[in-house]
Amino acid sequence: MDLQFTDAENSFRNELRHWLAGVIPTLPGEPHRDDWVGRRDYDTMWQRTLFEAGYAGINWPKEYGGLGATPTEHLIFLEETERARAPYVGQNFVGLLHAGPTLITEASPEQKAFHLPAILKGEHIWCQGFSEPGAGSDLASLSCRAIRDGDDYVISGQKIWTSFGHTADYCEMLVRTDPDVPKHRGISWLILPMGQPGMDVRPLRTMEGSTEFCEVFFDEVRVPVANRVGAENDGWRVAMVTLSFERGTAFVSEMLQSMELARDLAQLAKRITRNGASAWDDAGLRRDIGRICAELDALWALTKRNISQAQRTGLVGPGGNVFKLAYAELRSKLGELAMHLLDRASLSIDDVGQLPTHAHVHGRIHALSLGIAAGTSQVQRNIVAERILGLPKDR
Amino acid sequence: MDLQFTDAENSFRNELRHWLAGVIPTLPGEPHRDDWVGRRDYDTMWQRTLFEAGYAGINWPKEYGGLGATPTEHLIFLEETERARAPYVGQNFVGLLHAGPTLITEASPEQKAFHLPAILKGEHIWCQGFSEPGAGSDLASLSCRAIRDGDDYVISGQKIWTSFGHTADYCEMLVRTDPDVPKHRGISWLILPMGQPGMDVRPLRTMEGSTEFCEVFFDEVRVPVANRVGAENDGWRVAMVTLSFERGTAFVSEMLQSMELARDLAQLAKRITRNGASAWDDAGLRRDIGRICAELDALWALTKRNISQAQRTGLVGPGGNVFKLAYAELRSKLGELAMHLLDRASLSIDDVGQLPTHAHVHGRIHALSLGIAAGTSQVQRNIVAERILGLPKDR
Amino acid sequence: MDFELNDDERSLQEGIRSFLTGRCPIEVVRANEETGGALDRTLWRELADVGVFSLRTDGFGMTESVLAFEELGRSLVAGPLVASHLAASVVAGAGDGSRIVGLLEPAEPVTMVEHLASLDDLIVLRNDGIFVVEPSGVIGVLAERPLDALTPITRLDDVPDGQRIGDAAMALQWRRDGMVLTAGLQLGLCLASIDLAKTYAMQREQFGRPIGSFQAVKHMLADMLTKAEVTRAAVYAAAVNIDGRGDSSDLMQTARMAKLLAGDSALFCGKTCIQVHGGMGFTWEVDAQRYWKRACVLDTHFGNSDEHAAAFSAAL
Amino acid sequence: MDFELNDDERSLQEGIRSFLTGRCPIEVVRANEETGGALDRTLWRELADVGVFSLRTDGFGMTESVLAFEELGRSLVAGPLVASHLAASVVAGAGDGSRIVGLLEPAEPVTMVEHLASLDDLIVLRNDGIFVVEPSGVIGVLAERPLDALTPITRLDDVPDGQRIGDAAMALQWRRDGMVLTAGLQLGLCLASIDLAKTYAMQREQFGRPIGSFQAVKHMLADMLTKAEVTRAAVYAAAVNIDGRGDSSDLMQTARMAKLLAGDSALFCGKTCIQVHGGMGFTWEVDAQRYWKRACVLDTHFGNSDEHAAAFSAAL
């Protein structure tokens, strides 16, 4: 076991750091959080910048224009961009980290040639049309229908949790192409160009009031059969392929932010007074913050174990589910503690005077989503128990 | 809603308190905790004393020699005996609170005439033969067989968790009299005189090292058919009858002890020093103890709600399961906090010098059993969800 | 001793519930978000007409008041309900709903006042007494996005002075009564969260069966109900105690018990309700978030759970 | 960076595991309860022969040592393993197992020493240095019923003085290394608890199916595994750090992280293992209680989790 970086890894880091130091100060200011079109432009600008510097598609194979970096180099990339306060992947997320990797493994040469460079260059934004109102944890029960009609599929149904559906150019979609077979076997994976007739994209407001997600309604929307990726009715397998692309780096940026946020909370506690004394004088509060920081450090160590495992085997394995379970819970503890400390100031989502309310209240709400999105904690526990410990399936 | 006692209830309390004040100082010292025979004598002596004073069978109907007291009077009885540090029900437990009430409702006049007075007078100790190694949460799956042979049943099988099996005179038993029908429908309820040929009673050591429980092995043990209570194969219903006897008072003595223990812990924290300061100077510890004491007070209020409900309807209802769930968790929190405060002293089950280790370490271990005995917390949650909230059965 | 609701208590509670179900269904509450949580004076008067603010000046006790506030919490009614109720005995117009009376407690790290724009009178509750202030003269910064869309909130740089209308002892009593009434609201939030989660768990199917048939979901609901029922006992006990029919002479201590339990339980039930709803729980559309957010707001009223745990321990 | 075990580390750990499985199966451990937990000197020597005490004086690092201690914890081996390991560099006979070296830390509310009757040397670890004491001269009261039947424990009225063998800096380093080695034992307890609970959950049937097919049981096991794996990462990171191949320069802080996580997790896994076993978990016969009790013992070594949480926060 060795947590130190190799010389090669260190020079990768140094070059990246040097480049970031030059480019970050030249970036324009970030658009307003609700200006989705402005943010699209900003995010694609950053992707283009990365592309031009040779840093686009850090985890993509070299033959498809990526950097072919190891998971450890990916970790370093995320550490350095976070350290430099570089823009996040933002609206490029689905293309770079989900649809793109799927296309790399499963798409036809023509599909790859058309789509992959456009994703890397920040020319195309992708969104995801997987979840449905009736298909959440049980995704394979999805019912959005695609009926073959000549060279087209005709799609009718509804998708939900489509992030950036209103700004995307393409949508990776799972549709039901055969309703008469067991649910996993009648699904196909399609590339849908957005803005087709018959589509209605409506913003879905989250509990925080933001609208990065959409609901998409389909009324006989036509998509060429040529836009299918993989065989007809083999879409479930195609979709699962992407899971194997996760190399332990999914939460690196978040973890770095959370560790900083927890340490900021300690500083905040030292500034805040309570009954005439510093809030930090409270031994219980100190222990709570100490415990959270120590547990975050432990999760950081687990992150590195997961990355090392991916580096060796190509797969994260159990560590990924374990990480998510532990992280969702810990992030909730941090958020609850912060809101408690902020007391009445936590009743504003935006900063209150000099108090960094937004980071903590947003963080608390974000923590609620961590136990739900991409597999609820209940589903994660099932996976850990069944796939890792080998306990019998529910039924 | 009224938490004050009526004049009648207050005079019941005053008379009882007066009587206890006279009798308690005359009692001999308690036997050693592992002297089961000595404790039997002690417990039956106290039962006899109660009987002679007219306080035996507080919750039994008057027509069967009981006091016919209301649930509130039962509460008062338990408060006053606890306050006076009177002996507990001890080995009379199964007879007075479980077998006796069942006999009252279900037994034949002859069975009642023989057994009920003996229980009330402390002449007979009863034990329970319900659980089996293979039938715990799923009690109805019990397999201890009773085969009809003329006027006898011939019993073979095994029982477990039989408290005071080595000192008891009678055992209330559930046996399988028909293995060919659905599990709830082939069970009978028998009165088994202890010490029959073919019985082997072995102590079952708990994690605390004590042996109040036994395992009982049956090898063709004969019991007259006349000892059956209720109809053949109707034993499940007979056994369930006792549940309706619970009038919210089951945990009253325990609750009073726990409330005292938690308050003692606060005093202990004031005596103990940590890093040169009083342990009580620690704001977090104070909050933890404050919260536990407040939550215990809330459970005490819930106890009174449950008792009031039993007084009105004859049934505790959902409150009983809710109470047990909350109490098991809270008692664990108290135990863990106490062991933490005692630090290394908690590594002895007996008192260490002037430190009341035993109460707290025993309490911690007892808390572990609270989440298991008489329905694990998992089973309790199922009951609450299914019977109170009406959620669908597991399968 | 009879710690069950008597017939009068039950019918009073049912009356309030029936009024709120008709007049303030959740759709009406939600619609108020579009106005930035501005209070509806007509509704306020109607609440006064059913006695919400004047129960105790009309001869009822804390017991009846808490039963009413449980229903107000259940229906997610917004506004300075507790403040106006407390003020009924001293501020003209509070009891009959003709004036909306708010309340602030000086707080750390910052003092925030709710519903400032809708208030006719503002009470300042300090340790040394109770003061009344003209709200229009209070200067502060309105939060652009309040956590609870139904609770607009304004940061004050300075706590206004105002005119004294009560002494320190009365302030202490207001705090105590405020705790218990707020705990009643919190209890109502718990019950509403449970109802909503239960309904969803019965209707929502995944893997071919209602999610409420999965133990994981079942046990979340059982834990919610458990917390709610323990809280109910605590809140009712605190109320009965204040009315002189209790089993403890330390009214402040039982009030703290109630507020502590109710605060923890409302937060727990709110977030668990969100979790039971999965992704839908994270949407604006579903009310789960509203219950949780209101629980966050109420936990800061009259001392949060941690403060009461500390204060409770001081009496040990 | 490669935070997976390398081949040498893996084979070292497997070697220790294989030795312990053969020499110290749980039956052997349990049998020792009948002797009041008196240590078996033959076993002690054999443990020394496989390097348990001398790993670091033999040129291996904390990483290898922690892997070995994980196995010792998993096998529930009793005795002053950490103390004898720490003492190997300074007390003759500690490394080769010819002398059993125990350790005490002065504590509040009372100082207790384990295995006193089996000790050849007793180390007193104080803030101002390390001292060695002749155990036969130490006077105390042996607990009639120790919580962990395999850990006899004696209360001392006075902490003995002894002869100085190390300064304050060395004492600090011993504490740090003691934390990490103990955390290794605790990690092993977690893993053993999980194995035992899992085996039972697969075998035990109720309601016509293995209890491990019920979500409630499944989720208990998932939570155990989650805590154990996070703990494993923390413990390994602390060890690697001490060996100079880490990612943090604050060795004490990462050691605290490890002990904090491991202490909490071992207690959690121990009690959850008991709960998974239902009534059987409450019997002496089933080992679940042994893991929990040992977890209670080890949490008091080199500072408990709360103390480390406090100390961790001091560096923030």
Domains in chain C: boundaries? 171-315
pLDDT band for B314, please (50, 70, 90 cuts). Answer: confident
Q: What is the pLDDT of residues A110-144, one digit of tens each?
A: 999 999 999 999 999 999 999 999 999 999 999 99
pLDDT band of A315, cuts 50, 70, 90: confident
Q: Specify if B30 maps to a domain.
A: yes
**From the centroid of its chain, how far is CA D98?**
21
Chain centroid, CA B160 distance in Å: 16
Over its length of 316 residues, how does chain D's per-residue pLDDT go in tens digits?
A: 999 999 999 999 999 999 999 999 999 999 999 999 999 999 999 999 999 999 999 999 999 999 999 999 999 999 999 999 999 999 999 999 999 999 999 999 999 999 999 999 999 999 999 999 999 999 999 999 999 999 999 999 899 999 999 999 999 999 999 999 999 999 999 999 999 999 999 999 999 999 999 999 999 999 999 999 999 999 999 999 999 999 999 999 999 999 999 999 999 999 999 999 999 999 999 999 999 999 999 999 999 999 999 999 999 9
Residue A293 and residue A373 share a domain:
yes
Chain A nearest CA to C300, separation (Å): 6
pLDDT digits (tens, 9 = 90+) for C251-276: 999 999 999 999 999 999 999 999 99
Please state which CATH number belongs to domain D171-315.
Answer: 1.20.140.10
Provide mean pLDDT across the span B292-320.
93
Q: Please, which pLDDT band fits residue B344 given cuts at 50, 70 and 90?
A: very high
Q: How confident is the model at residue B318, as a pLDDT?
A: 74
Contact C231 B319 (CB under 8 A): no
Mean predicted confidence (pLDDT) in B358-364:
97
The label of the residue with tokens 């989250």 reads A206
d(CA C39, CA C45): 11
The stretch A311-340 carries a mean pLDDT of: 93
Q: Which of A328, A321, A71, A326 is nearest to D3 (CA)?
A: A71
Distance from CA of B109 to the nearest CA of D (A): 36
- On chain D, the residues whose CB falls within 8 A of the CB of B368 are 271, 274-275, 281-282, 292
Query: Which of A203, A235, A267 is the last residue in one of the domains?
Result: A235
Which DSSP symbol is given to D166? E
- In this structure, are residues A38 and A50 in contact, taking their beta carbons and an 8 Å threshold? no
C128 touches chain A (CB under 8 A): no
Annotated active-site residue in A80, A172, A212, A246: A246
Give A308: exposed, middle or buried? Use CB within 10 Å, 0-12, 13-18, 19+.
Answer: buried
pTM above 0.90, yes or no: yes
* pLDDT of res. B241: 86
Q: How confident is the model at residue C28 (pLDDT cuts 50, 70, 90)?
A: very high
Question: What part of B 290-319 touches C (C-beta under 8 Å)?
Answer: 290-291, 293-295, 297-299, 301-302, 304-305, 307-309, 311-312, 318-319
- Band (A90; pLDDT cuts 50, 70, 90): very high
Instruction: Note down the domain range covering A153.
Output: 126-235
Hunting for tokens 């011993």 — which residue is that?
D174
Minimal Cα distance from C148: which residue of A?
A347
Please tell me whether residues A231 and A284 are part of one structural domain: no
Counting residues of chain B whose pLDDT is more than 90, the rounded percentage is 93
**Same structural domain, A306 and A350:** yes
Please name the residue of chain A whose CA is at the shortest distance from the CA of residue C287.
A207
Beta strands in chain A (DSSP E): 126-129, 145-149, 152-163, 170-176, 187-193, 199-204, 213-224, 228-229, 273-274, 277-278
Tokens standing for D71? 């196995």
- The domain that holds A272 is classified in CATH as 1.20.140.10
Domain boundary pick from A179, A204, A235:
A235
For residue A378, the chain C residues in CB contact (below 8 A) are 214, 216-217
Average pLDDT over residues C179-187: 98
Q: Could you tell me the CA-to-CA distances from C84 to B5, B200, B283, C96 in Å, in that order? A: 34, 72, 34, 10
Instruction: Specify whether A286 is located in the same domain as A348.
Output: yes
Count of Cβ atoms closer than 10 Å to residue C50 Cβ: 19
Which residues of B are the active-site residues? Answer: 246
User: For residue B154, what is the domain's CATH number?
Assistant: 2.40.110.10
Tell whether the model's pLDDT for residue B243 goes beyond 80.
no
Q: Are D97 and D49 in contact (CB under 8 A)?
A: yes
Residue B244: the pLDDT is 74
Task: Report yes or no on B103 lying in a domain.
Answer: no
Model confidence band, residue A395 (pLDDT cutoffs 50, 70, 90):
low
| B363 and B261 inside one domain | yes
For residue C101, give the 3-state DSSP assignment.
Answer: strand
What are the residue ranges of helices labelled H in chain B? 7-23, 36-53, 71-83, 93-94, 100-106, 109-120, 235-241, 252-271, 283-313, 319-342, 357-370, 377-383
Reading the block at residue D39, the tokens are 């240590």
- pLDDT surpasses 80 at A244: no
- What does the pLDDT read at residue A246? 83
Check B347 against D153: CB less than 8 A apart: yes
B395 falls in which pLDDT band (50, 70, 90)? low
My answer on whether A270 and A370 are in the same domain is yes
pLDDT, tens only, B108-160? 999 999 999 999 999 999 999 999 999 999 999 999 999 999 999 999 999 99
Q: Mean pLDDT over residues C273-289, rounded?
A: 97
Q: Is pLDDT above 90 for B315?
A: no
To the query of whether residue A52 is one of the catalytic residues in this protein, the response is: no
Q: Taking residues A140-153, what's their average pLDDT? A: 97
- Regarding whether B259 and B224 lie in a shared domain, the answer is no
- Is residue A260 located within the same domain as residue A210? no
- Residue A74: pLDDT above 70? yes
Q: For residues D65 and D50, what is the distance between their CA atoms, to the nearest angstrom?
A: 11
One domain for residues B360 and B281: yes
Q: How many CB pairs under 8 A join C and D?
A: 8
The answer as to whether A98 is a domain residue is no
Indicate if B230 and B267 belong to the same structural domain: no
Q: Which amino acid is at B269?
A: A
Q: Please, are residues D145 and B209 in contact by the beta-carbon 8 Å criterion?
A: yes
- Is the minimum CB–CB distance between A288 and chain B shorter than 8 Å? yes
pLDDT tier for residue A287 given thresholds of 50, 70 and 90: very high
For residue A110, being part of any structural domain is answered with no
Interchain CB distance below 8 Å, A288 and B288 = no
Residue in B closest to C203 by C-alpha: B391
Residues in C closer than 8 angstroms to B287, CB to CB, are 306, 309-310, 313
How many domains in chain B? 3
Same domain, A221 and A130: yes
Among A281, A287, A292, the residue to mutate for chain B (most B Cβ within 10 A): A287
State yes or no: pLDDT of A318 exceeds 90. no
* DSSP structure class, residue C143: -
Average pLDDT over residues A27-48: 96
The reply to whether A114 falls in a domain is no
Q: How far apart are CA A318 and CA A321, in angstroms?
A: 6
pLDDT score, position B190: 98
- Chain C's closest residue to A268, CA to CA, is C109
Residues A156 and A56 in one domain: no
| Apex D258 CA angle, D253 and D260, nearest 5 | 90
pLDDT tens string C293-302: 999 999 999 9
Report CB contact under 8 Å: B283, A284. Answer: yes
Tens digits of per-residue pLDDT, B5-56? 999 999 999 999 999 999 999 999 999 999 999 999 999 999 999 999 999 9
